[in-house]
Structure 1
Amino acid sequence: MDFDFQWVLIALPLAFGVGWLASRLDLRQVRRESSNSPKAYYKGLNLLLNEQQDKAIDAFIEAVQHDPDTTELHFALGNLFRRRGEFERAVRVHQHLLGRADLGATERDRAQHALAQDFMKAGLFDRAEQAYKALAGTPFDTESRLALLNLYERSRDWRAAADTAAALEKTGTGAFGTRIAHHWCELAMEADGRGDAAGAASALAKAREAAPQAPRPLLLAGQQAWRAGSATAALQHWNELRLRDPASFHLVAADYASAAIAADQVEAARAALDKAYAQTPGLDLLRALAQLAQQPLGSSAGLLPHLQAHPTLSGAQALLERPASDWTETDAAAVRTAVAKAARPMQRYRCAACGFEAQRYFWQCPGCLGWDSFPPRHLEEL
């Protein structure tokens, strides 16, 4: 049978026309879908910048519906849910991302990190721990270890916290010695509470090894020795603390005086306390000196000069313990000065709308520009 080339000449233009028409229809659909998604995305971004989170979430949901394969929209939506406290919805969004087979390694790590943050914010610490541990060896490794450190501290898992901080320090992330020392101090206190004196001593030794200059291990070692009945050992620890960190020594000044009396080292303790007071004056040291002298703080000769130099309510209260027959005009003036200083911050007006404080009354708040937002009474009267 002879082939008619006339049909070929007719079919070629026809096929070309059909193909062109089909491509135009597909192109219009693609353009329509791609234009709808960015519009919804930019609308959500604009609403977010205007702090309209509810409407922004609706816009992002619309954008995801138009283009469900866009990971950035999912991340934006999940982060918004987390910021609003809708942790369950945030978890669903990020778990949906992790369930996608076409997700790249970088985006998968990012979704895993976002999921761990969701669990952390929701207070699901066990699931957050697992999610953060899954990020080991990824670009989020350091960030996840820091988050785990905070998680262990919040859940009071001090041994895991110490191990995590030590691992971070080995990687060069930063210096965590002082933080590790606190972890071991907490473990020492737990051991001491169980009656495990050896365990407490071992933990304190590790704390001092982690941060030799930290004051807390010395303070706790002295307290442990004092509770064990060894006043001399307690004084040795606290004397070292006094020389290393005079400010922290205030915390055990009263116990120091008691241990000195028990060890018959009153004169040495008095000299040490006088020296400490000269470096960092404080009522705790004056109380310890009064304790050594076996007299109330109110009768101490050093109380009035201290109150004149450092007017505080605590000092004024101690001075008020003096018998009325021993009062002088100088004592009364010192008390008045201390009370006036303490009352000054409370003799202010505070805006009920924004919290702006001022010494004089304003009808219009200088902070938020609201009218009649200042209650016409001082803070101490509210």
Structure 2
Amino acid sequence: MELDAQSLLFALLIALPAAFAIGWVASRMDLRQWKRTDREAPKAYFKGLNLLLNEQPDKAIDAFIEAVQHDPDTSELHFALGNLFRRRGEFERAVRVHEHLLQRADLARSDRERAQYALAQDFMKAGLFDRAEAAFAALEGTPFETESRLARLGLHERSRDWAGAADVAGRLEKAGAGSFATRIAHYLCEQALEADARGDAASAESLLTQAQAAAPQSARPWVQRAERLARSGDAAGALAVYLGLAQRNPEAFARVSGDAVACAQTAGQLPALRDTLQRLYEQQPGIDLLRALARADGQPPGQSPRLPSLLREQPSLSAAIDLLDTPAAQWPESGQTTVREAVARAARPLQRYRCAACGFESQRHFWQCPGCLGWDTFPPQRIEEL
């Protein structure tokens, strides 16, 4: 019995130092492995960064893949790799990288939200708009909420989902992301057009009322309402809307002033409208108002006594065309000079040479483009001759 105890004690005395030695060797080996991995991962990372700065994305991707293999738990490397894939148009690989990040249970909340936003961008760039919409919607209540809502707004516009666009724009405005009143008015006007197309006049009228309330200075709801009234035969009602637009947005009214004259003629209210046209023309003369005034006076625009002075002040091709439509014998004394000035002014931007490689424009012809330094990239013809 005493011999067995001595044998056991002897074995323990031998085993303990051996176990310590084995543990020490294993720890040293593990430490060396850790140090080697730690050296290799940053080396691969900085190699990829250097290649990226040198505009070699293909080699940079290879380097980042190597870095991820050495340190698969580093989320920043995954983000860098996914963004590179997306920039190169390799959307499927970018999606896989970001989905792999989202599957990690140990991922921090901030990194998870960031990965979700990156995944939504992948879907957006790949043209998978339904999946992008769902991915962006998942970011409600996160720091990426505003960016995701703006992206969803673009998606709704692209798919012509005007109701959805109006809803998102309203939430953006309430969140303090800026004023979206004008855009909301356009969305409501688009819905009004759809309502008219399906014969729902009551809904169309209600939507236009909402659009005017959302953006009182926006021209489109007023113009669209006036056009609806004119189509329905209510010329007097349409004229009243046009006159309301003239008070709120005179510049926008000038573009549709000819339509207002047509309504005034039908409604027998031309004198009242003519006074408004004359007042607006004196404040800000333009070819649209001149044509409307000429129509109200029952004469061709080319015979309007206002045309020569307008041509001198604004030598535009539109005004010159109106004068050319009039027999030369009826031209004012300065007619030929003003027409020439108008044509010369309109032709000036076209009397230039344009580089076929980079689009650089110049009044001179160059053998070597000052923009891209290419040789013989300027065609011998000017822009107007191409």
When normalised by structure 1's length, the TM-score is 0.93
Contact 1:133 1:144 (C-alpha < 8 Å) held by counterparts: yes
- Partner Cα distance (1:8, 1:46) in 2: 56
For residue 297 of structure 2, what is the aligned residue in structure 1?
A: 293
For residue 126 of structure 1, what is the aligned residue in structure 2?
A: 130
- Partner Cα distance (1:123, 1:303) in 2: 52
Does 1:57 find its partner at 2:61?
A: yes
Contact 2:124 2:132 (C-alpha < 8 Å) held by counterparts: yes
Contact 1:43 1:56 (C-alpha < 8 Å) held by counterparts: yes
Contact 1:283 1:315 (C-alpha < 8 Å) held by counterparts: yes
Does 1:349 find its partner at 2:353?
A: yes
- Partner Cα distance (1:35, 1:27) in 2: 12
Contact 1:298 1:321 (C-alpha < 8 Å) held by counterparts: yes
For residue 22 of structure 1, what is the aligned residue in structure 2?
A: 26
Match of 2:111 among 99, 107, 112: 107
Match of 2:51 among 47, 57, 76: 47
Contact 1:109 1:138 (C-alpha < 8 Å) held by counterparts: yes
When normalised by structure 2's length, the TM-score is 0.92
For residue 338 of structure 1, what is the aligned residue in structure 2?
A: 342
Contact 1:53 1:80 (C-alpha < 8 Å) held by counterparts: yes
1:289 CA displacement: 1.6
1:34 CA displacement: 2.3
For residue 319 of structure 2, what is the aligned residue in structure 1?
A: 315
Contact 1:356 1:365 (C-alpha < 8 Å) held by counterparts: yes
- Partner Cα distance (2:296, 2:18) in 1: 112
- Partner Cα distance (1:320, 1:58) in 2: 67
Contact 2:323 2:331 (C-alpha < 8 Å) held by counterparts: no
Match of 1:256 among 236, 254, 260: 260
| 1:224 partner letter | R
Contact 1:246 1:279 (C-alpha < 8 Å) held by counterparts: no
| 1:32 partner letter | R
Does 1:71 find its partner at 2:52?
A: no
**Equivalent pairs, count:** 382
Q: In the TM superposition, what whole-angstrom CA distance separates every residue of 1:300-342 from its partner, at most 9, and x where no partner exists?
A: 2222221121111122122111123334552111111011111
1:154 CA displacement: 1.7
| 2:228 partner letter | Q
- Partner Cα distance (2:333, 2:294) in 1: 23
Match of 2:271 among 255, 267, 273: 267
| 2:348 partner letter | R
1:103 CA displacement: 2.1
User: Mapping of 1:108-257 within 5 angstroms?
Assistant: 108-257=112-261
Contact 1:350 1:357 (C-alpha < 8 Å) held by counterparts: yes
| 1:275 partner letter | R
- Partner Cα distance (2:136, 2:26) in 1: 49
Aligned CA RMSD, in angstroms, stands at: 2.0
- Partner Cα distance (2:357, 2:56) in 1: 21
Contact 2:165 2:187 (C-alpha < 8 Å) held by counterparts: yes
- Partner Cα distance (1:176, 1:381) in 2: 44
Q: In the TM superposition, what whole-angstrom CA distance separates every residue of 1:202-247 from its partner, at most 9, and x where no partner exists?
A: 0011112222332222222212211121111111111111111111
1:159 CA displacement: 0.9
The more displaced of 15-24 and 115-124 is: 15-24
- Partner Cα distance (2:282, 2:58) in 1: 60
- Partner Cα distance (1:8, 1:303) in 2: 117
- Partner Cα distance (1:281, 1:14) in 2: 103
For residue 3 of structure 1, what is the aligned residue in structure 2?
A: 6
Secondary structure (helix, strand or coil) at the match of 1:3 reads: helix
Q: In the TM superposition, what whole-angstrom CA distance separates every residue of 1:222-278 from its partner, at most 9, and x where no partner exists?
A: 122111211111111111111111111123111101001001111211111111222
| Unmatched segments (≥5 aa) in structure 2 | none
| 1:345 partner letter | P
Moved >4 Å (runs of 4+)? 4-13
1:7 CA displacement: 5.9
- Partner Cα distance (1:196, 1:295) in 2: 40
- Partner Cα distance (2:61, 2:299) in 1: 69
Contact 1:246 1:280 (C-alpha < 8 Å) held by counterparts: no
| 2:381 partner letter | R
- Partner Cα distance (2:186, 2:332) in 1: 47
- Partner Cα distance (1:184, 1:283) in 2: 31
Q: In the TM superposition, what whole-angstrom CA distance separates every residue of 1:94-129 from its partner, at most 9, and x where no partner exists?
A: 122222222222222111111111111222221111
